[in-house]
Chains A and B, each alone.
Chain A
Amino acid sequence: QVQLVESGGGVVQPGRSLRLSCAASGFTFSIYGMHWVRQAPGKGLEWVALISYDGSYEYYADSVKGRFTFSRDNSKNTLYLQMNSLRAEDTARYYCAKGGAPWADYGGFDYWGQGTLVTVSS
């Protein structure tokens, strides 16, 4: 069965960096685009970023563009989200999510991890 396990969250001061990871199993990781989605405490869902199945390109939400970098290692079935210049408004639970169709960027997402909490506070 599909499993996505995020890690790396924690409390960080504004302006500092953090790197999240997502370990995937139970499916052919290398043929699916993958996403990060976040949810601020008590708020709705916000799409953050996509990485293509082969890691050749990414798309980002304007709110994180230039500060976050999404990468993947298909040999390790692992995703990474490097978050720099963190702001209070980046405080959220970050979920990785599996793309809904192989080799495609537009299939939505079908499975989610349980998320990792990032708190940006001085």
Chain B
Amino acid sequence: DIRMTQSPSSLSASVGDRVTITCRASQGIRNDLGWYQQKPGKAPKRLIYGASTLQSGVPSRFSGSGSGTEFTLTVSNLQPEDFATYYCLQHNSYPFTFGQGTKLEIK
């Protein structure tokens, strides 16, 4: 199975800040990676697919990059509604696997 190592596990930031979350895959997954945002009591929502393509309707302050084994999600100009938990997902091979999650909290 492909292991996805996501860091950091938690992050404190202020409104207006820029933050970066990283996922590393235990083997190459091309660009078969998505990023998801989950708010308490809600279903996850896809933000990015294909490692860097913004899902329709998602604000442009979210961006993704990477290929192979290292991927990043960057959120610029943090807004109050961005404080949530973020997960990466590899969908290159079965079983699909998620990162452990990053909880983004208000400083």
Contacts and interface: CB of A to CB of B under 8 A. Distances in A.
A113 B32 CA distance: 22
23 contacts: A44-B87, A44-B99, A44-B101, A45-B36, A45-B38, A45-B89, A47-B97, A50-B94, A59-B95, A95-B43, A100-B46, A100-B49, A106-B32, A106-B92, A107-B49, A108-B32, A108-B89, A109-B34, A112-B43, A112-B44, A113-B43, A114-B43, A115-B43
A110 B87 contact: no
Interface string B18-32: 000000000000001
Interface of B: 32, 34, 36, 38, 42-46, 49, 55, 87, 89, 91-92, 94-101
Interface residues of A, number: 22
Interface of A: 35, 44-47, 50, 59, 61-62, 95, 100, 105-115
A45 B98 contact: yes
Contacts, number: 59
B49 A47 contact: no
Query: Interface of chain A, helix or strand or loop or mixed?
Result: strand
Nearest to A43: B101
Contacts of A111: 46
4 closest A-B pairs by CB: A108-B91, A112-B43, A47-B96, A108-B34
A69 to B, nearest CB: 17
A45 B46 CA distance: 13
A26 B47 CA distance: 20
Contacts of A109: 34, 46, 89, 91
A35 to B, nearest CB: 8
Nearest to A6: B43
B87 A106 contact: no
